[in-house]
């Protein structure tokens, strides 16, 4: 074969390949167009065991087992366990809860804990670090991937009712400042991160009271530590004024959304929350995780919890 003949055959082969390639692309495009469009997946909806108890009477009236079974009957996808509501922390009890959730078709998807790093006494702060390390271990043994943590409070209010009367605002202990407090909180949480990573449990700092009362405070702490194992448990009911812009600022960091409802009127206050608007904020931020109902009203939980589930399904569904 001479050079001219070689070039002619090569050119013809190239044309053939291009035609074949175009046919394949066209075939794939037609096949894709023929497929039914997939619906967008909505957020799974869980419920906190707090929604049943709400600190009304002894916790023994609302055991975690009962809350799990009722959550399944009501149609939830998962359960968030309130640590202080548990009857025990023995491993046999933990595994019983894990088994009960599984056979009822539910995820154990959140663990709501309490700690206080906002204390000038380093020994008190260290005790709370040790407490939280223990809580991380409990979550891991329950198979729960995230726990809610708090900064703690200054404790200068006469009572929680008094704190609520002041819209969550609390002055520092005399002789100290919020600036001192941020240093203590950041230093304390930093000690938790290696264990959180080792156990595969994400710490979700809640926009709660204390230094977490504002979105700026929450962002300051998580940015200072800059770890994928410290993110945000975002509570819709803890910004008492102008909540939507503040929720939007924290939404990109959220690993769990706690959604408050107040049927029958709230125990301390009632917020009129637009969940369609909140759901759109969360969608724009790329949030695909669990929404956990925290019913905090005075109405009957038997009526209010299913009503709340319908509301959240409507807003956060596909």
Give the CATH number, domain containing residue 118: 3.20.20.150
> Is 164 in the same domain as 238?
yes
Q: For the chain, give the mean pLDDT.
A: 91
> Is 162 in the same domain as 136?
yes
pLDDT of 130? 98
> Is 31 in the same domain as 51?
no
The answer, yes or no, to whether residue 189 has pLDDT greater than 60, is yes
> Is 78 in the same domain as 4?
no
The answer, yes or no, to whether residue 227 has pLDDT greater than 90, is yes
Q: How many domains does the chain have?
A: 2
Distance of CA 67 to the CA centre of its chain: 19
Residue 18 banded pLDDT, cuts 50, 70, 90: very low
The answer, yes or no, to whether residue 27 has pLDDT greater than 70, is no
> Is 304 in the same domain as 171?
yes
By CB neighbour count within 10 A (0-12 exposed, 13-18 middle, 19+ buried), where does 53 fall?
buried
Residues 6 or more apart from 265 whose CB is under 8 A from it?
297, 298, 299
Residues 6 or more apart from 170 whose CB is under 8 A from it?
153, 154, 155, 156, 157, 163, 209, 210
> Is 9 in the same domain as 58?
no
> Is 33 in the same domain as 151?
no
The answer, yes or no, to whether residue 39 has pLDDT greater than 80, is no
The mean pLDDT value for 177-200 works out to 98
For 131, the domain range is: 45-316
> Is 139 in the same domain as 220?
yes
User: The tokens of 84 are what?
Assistant: 């202080």
In degrees, rounded to 5, the angle at the alpha carbon of residue 236 between the alpha carbons of residues 59 and 162 is 60
> Is 83 in the same domain as 9?
no
> Is 33 in the same domain as 179?
no
For residue 218, give the nearest of 229, 204, 228 by alpha carbon. 204
> How far apart, in whole angstroms, are the C-alpha atoms of residue 169 and residue 154?
10
CB neighbourhood size of 134 (10 A): 13
- Contact yes or no for 189/203 (Cβ under 8 A): yes
> Is 161 in the same domain as 221?
yes
Name the pTM for this structure: 0.87
> How far apart, in whole angstroms, are the C-alpha atoms of residue 318 and residue 316?
7
The answer, yes or no, to whether residue 290 has pLDDT greater than 50, is yes
> Is 75 in the same domain as 140?
yes
The mean pLDDT value for 200-223 works out to 97
């Amino acid at each position: 074969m001479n050079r001219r003949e070689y070039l002619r055959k090569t050119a013809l082969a190239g044309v053939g390949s291009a035609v074949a390639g175009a046919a394949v692309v066209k075939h794939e495009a037609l096949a894709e167009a023929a497929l039914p469009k997939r619906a967008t997946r909505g957020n799974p909806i869980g419920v906190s065991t707090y929604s049943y108890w709400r600190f009304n009477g002894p916790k023994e009236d609302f055991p975690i087992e009962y809350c799990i079974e009722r959550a399944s009957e009501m149609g939830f996808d998962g359960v968030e366990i309130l640590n202080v509501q548990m009857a025990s922390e023995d491993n046999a009890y933990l595994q019983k809860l894990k088994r009960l959730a599984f056979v009822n078709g539910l995820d154990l998807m959140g663990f709501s804990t309490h700690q206080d790093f906002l204390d000038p006494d380093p020994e008190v702060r260290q005790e709370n670090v040790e407490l939280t390390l223990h809580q991380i271990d409990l979550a891991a043994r329950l198979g729960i991937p995230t726990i809610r943590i708090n900064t703690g409070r200054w404790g200068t209010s006469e009572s929680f009712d008094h704190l609520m009367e002041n819209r969550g605002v609390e002055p520092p202990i005399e002789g100290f400042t919020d600036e001192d407090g941020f240093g203590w909180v950041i230093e304390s949480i930093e000690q938790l991160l290696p264990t959180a990573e080792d156990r595969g449990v994400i710490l979700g700092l809640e926009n709660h009271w204390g230094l977490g009362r504002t979105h700026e405070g929450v962002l300051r702490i998580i940015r200072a530590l800059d770890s994928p194992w410290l993110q945000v448990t975002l509570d819709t009911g803890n910004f008492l004024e102008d909540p939507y812009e503040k929720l939007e600022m924290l939404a990109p960091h959220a690993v769990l959304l706690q959604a408050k409802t107040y049927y029958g009127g709230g125990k301390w206050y009632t917020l009129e929350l637009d969940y369609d608007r909140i759901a759109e904020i969360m969608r724009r931020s790329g949030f695909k995780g669990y929404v956990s109902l925290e019913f905090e009203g005075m109405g009957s939980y038997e009526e209010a919890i299913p009503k709340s589930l319908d509301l959240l399904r409507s807003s956060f569904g596909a």
